[in-house]
Amino acid sequence: MVQKIILDCDPGHDDAVAIMMAAKHPEIELLGITTVRGNQTLEKVTRNALNVVQYLDIDVPVYKGMSVPMVIEPRPVEERVHGDSGLDGPQFDELTRTIESKHAIQFIIETLMASDGDIILVPTGPLTNIAMAMRIEPRIVPKIKQIVLMGGCYQLGNVTPSAEFNIWADGEAAHIVFSSGVKVTMMGLDITRKVLALPSVIERMSKHDNRAAKLFCDLMTFFNKGQKKTFGWEGGPLHDPTTVAYLIDPSVITVKSMHTDIEINSEQSYGRTNCDYFLLTDEPKNSDVAIDVDVEKFWDIVEECISLYE
Ligand code: BDR
Ligand code: CA
């Protein structure tokens, strides 16, 4: 069944690959791309989204969203990982594509309200846009079919010992989303750290002679340099595309239903996704948390998406 989605992102190398995959796969209908401050400033991530759609000739509207989190002060941007532009590596032509005049939140609200409840939200950045939309127009909540997001972890964080970047960047927004009653499927670091864009993966994708392959290889070559410096890994985790791969073929990722709470009161553990993995409490199971990924199948899906470009 074709899945209608809105991709809410902060490109970002792995976000860019998620856009590339979602825009072309026949199982996905990408209704719009919305941007949010995260990896870089809102201006930069929006420019990056436009560069990606222009480079790959993707005919999908791009909407600019929130430039600051809901409650906390904006976090520093992730230059170590994504470079000064937020998408260092590839060379883009002069930008001619432009954003839509509507605000991302208005687009999300209007699109959901006009829908038959068949739209999936796919956030791959901080959850500010989604939570703001839920607060501004609560009637969208029952209209959301599902939220398949990249964020969180039940093991170790990547920005503090407890927290993953997207959740830590706007914990209050994450709290609103996870407690909204909408089914949340959480692709956390626990599985994204298994899909490493090792040199062998770059070599494999480089065999395709098209712009998507070139973009993938240019992105991952830069991305891996930062990952090596910061974490000592030869290949960086391709976090965000796990969401799209799961929508294309759910058998690629194993999920377990459990209760997840977002820590927003502790200074030390702010942004922690407290996932009740062992079902220790009677709290409602508000999330399907990814616990395993079929790595080979994942790369097959990424390669399939690349091969769909001319
Ligand atoms: C997440 O943070 C960003 O740097 C990536 O794009 C991904 O969404 C991983 O923690
Ligand atoms: Ca991201």
What's the pLDDT score for residue 145? 98
Domain segments of the chain as ranges: 3-307
Ligand 2 centroid vs 149 CA: distance in angstroms?
10
Counting ligand 1 atoms within 8 A of each CB, the residue from 13, 158, 165 with the most, and so the one to mutate, is 165
- Domain 3-307 fold is Inosine-uridine Nucleoside N-ribohydrolase; Chain A (3.90.245)
Give the number of the atom of ligand 1 that is nearest the alpha carbon of residue 13. Answer: 6
Instruction: Determine whether the shortest distance from the Cβ of 170 to ligand 1 is under 6 A.
Output: no
What's the pLDDT score for residue 226? 86
What's the pLDDT score for residue 230? 82
What's the pLDDT score for residue 61? 98
Q: Which residues of the chain have pLDDT under 50?
A: none
What's the pLDDT score for residue 78? 80
Instruction: Determine whether the shortest distance from the Cβ of 12 to ligand 1 is under 6 A.
Output: yes
What's the pLDDT score for residue 83? 87
What's the pLDDT score for residue 233? 86
Ordered DSSP codes for the chain: -PEEEEEEE---HHHHHHHHHHHH-TTEEEEEEEE-SSSS-HHHHHHHHHHHHHHTT----EEE--SS-SSSPPPPP-HHHHTTTSS-SS----------SS-HHHHHHHHHHTS-S-EEEEE-S-SHHHHHHHHH-GGGGGGEEEEEEE---SS--SSSSS--HHHHTTHHHHHHHHTSSS-EEEE-HHHHTTSB--HHHHHHHTTS-SHHHHHHHHHHHHHHHHHHHHH--SS-B--THHHHHHHH-GGGEEEEEE-EEE--S-STTTT-EEE-TT--S-----EEEEEEE-HHHHHHHHHHHHHT--
Instruction: Determine whether the shortest distance from the Cβ of 8 to ligand 1 is under 6 A.
Output: no
Catalytic positions, written as ranges: 10
What's the pLDDT score for residue 2? 95
Model-wide pTM > 0.85: yes
